[in-house]
Amino acid sequence: MGDPMPLWGMLLLPIGLLLLGYGGAAWSAILTARAAGSPVSLAAATPARETARLLVEQRRTIPGADTLLWRLGGATVPVAAVLAVLVLPVADRAAADLSIGVVWFNAMEVLIWVAVWTVGWGANSAWGLVGAYRFLIQGLAYALPHMFALTTAALGAGSLRVSDIAQAQENLWFAALMPVAFGVYLLSAMAMAYWGPFDPAVARDLAGGAAAELTGVDRLVFRSGRYLMLTAAAAMAVPLFLGGGAGPLLPGWAWTVLKTAAVLALLVWLGHRLPTVRVDRFTEIGWVVLIPATLLQALVVAIVVLVV
């Protein structure tokens, strides 16, 4: 739908993603400082200072490592995040408004599985490999509910095109029509960015898990990729469940940015507010609770679509 996005918009998209991602990182640093009682005024610059630190830090080489896969995996994370938002409509225009946009987003976001697994595997470290396996297990637990949540949104609009889904919410946001699907989407948004309660793959108890051996630029790319992915997932929640760019007074793009920032802030806050969910226990929740719940939600929405 609509005209294709102009070239400057395509350039602006990753930059906007990066800015919002930095905002998320700064908000995270502020929350950390508040909890620790450290000076909050210093916290907003923490991600920048950490970036400076990682830029001058030495890159490691490890004997017996699969260096190619290790470095490639880390670079995949930000690339997957940028590719995922190509179908995001900003002001009714997406960089590539594919007729199967939802499937595209899902496919790009699953690339994170490859990325985290190869980063954990490549470093030749037990911590890394355990972290990598944790992420795959978590992936198996959240992937199906996540897909059903996406399917439910597509079902509500009768289209797999993301801009169609956004337009179908003129009267009622899908977050209100399908709250279970929205909740599961937020949950899987954190899981796909291995963020917050779903961070066992890179958790403290594994000394950083999949990321345990990363230093310097490699760590910078992996960590910023994580914030980009979290931002991308938050941004996709806007057209899928929160009415897209619809809103009073402000132009559409501003509403998209505002809503994305709000979802991102919520996700970051949740990550700080909750302890890590243990994978071995979450798997049963995913299969026994979330899959039936999302299927029922899809059934209800299907009936609503047929009747109304």
Partner 1 sequence: MDVTAWLLRRIRPRPFVVTALGGTGVRLAVEDELRRRAWQPAPTPVAADMLVVCGPYDTELAQALDRVWEQMPRPRVRVLLDAQDDVARSLNEGGAALASSTEGSSQAPPLADSAHPAPDPSSSHGGDSGRSHEDSGAADASAHSEEHGTHDRSEGASSETADDEGGGDQHADHEHGGHGDHSGHDMHGGGMEMPGGLPMAERAADRDGLTLDRLHVELGPVLADWPAGLRLSLALQGDVVQDAAVSVVGAAPTDTARFWTAPGLGGRELGGPSVEAAAALDSLQRLLAVAGWPDAGATGRRLRDDLLRHGAREAWRARCRRWIRRVRRSRLLRWSTDGLGFVAPDAPEVLRGDVTARWKRRLDTIEAAVAQESAAPRPTDAGAAAQSALDLLPSLLNGQELAAVRLIVASLDPDLEALPADGAEVGHG
Partner 2 sequence: MVHTAVFAVCAAASVAAGVAVFRVDSMARATLALLASFVLAAITLLLLDLSYLGVLVILMMTMEMMIMIVFMIMYMMNPAGLMPMTMVHNNRGALAISLAVFAALVTGIFLVPWPDTRPGTPADPTLQLAEAIMGSKMLVMMVIGMVLFATMVAATVLSTARGRYDRYGDRLRRSRPDDPIRGGVGR
Contact positions toward partner 2, by CB under 8 A? Answer: 63-66, 68-70, 98-100, 103-104, 106-107, 110-111, 113-114, 117-118, 120-126, 128-129, 133, 136, 139-140, 143, 160, 278, 280-285, 288-289
Residue 52 binds: one of partner 1, partner 2, none (C-beta under 5 to 8 A by kind): partner 1
Residue 214 binds: one of partner 1, partner 2, none (C-beta under 5 to 8 A by kind): partner 1
Is 195 or 282 the residue whose CB approaches partner 2 more closely? 282
Cα gap 221→59, rounded to integer Å: 12
What's the min distance (Å) between Cβ of 134 and partner 1?
8
Beta bridge partners of 90: 93
What's the min distance (Å) between Cβ of 285 and partner 1?
9
What's the min distance (Å) between Cβ of 170 and partner 2?
23
- Residue ranges in contact with partner 1 by CB under 8 A: 31-33, 35-39, 42-43, 46, 49-50, 52-53, 55-65, 124-128, 130, 133-134, 197, 199-200, 203-208, 212-216, 219, 272-281
What's the min distance (Å) between Cβ of 103 and partner 2?
5
Tokens of 142: 């959240």
What's the min distance (Å) between Cβ of 121 and partner 2?
6
Is 154 or 220 the residue whose CB approaches partner 1 more closely? 220
Contact 221, 64 (CB under 8 A): no
Nearest to 308, CA basis, from 185, 100, 147, 155:
155
Cα gap 112→76, rounded to integer Å: 7
Phi-psi region at 96: left, alpha or beta (left = phi > 0; alpha = psi -120 to 50): beta
Question: Which amino acid belongs to residue 121?
Answer: W
What proportions of the chain, in percent to the nearest 5, are helix, strand and coil? 75, 0, 25
What's the min distance (Å) between Cβ of 199 and partner 2?
17
Residue 174 binds: one of partner 1, partner 2, none (C-beta under 5 to 8 A by kind): none
Residue 160 binds: one of partner 2, partner 1, none (C-beta under 5 to 8 A by kind): partner 2
Q: Is 12 helix (H, G, I), strand (E, B) or coil?
A: helix
Phi-psi region at 276: left, alpha or beta (left = phi > 0; alpha = psi -120 to 50): beta
Cβ contacts of residue 299 below 8 Å, gap of 6+? none
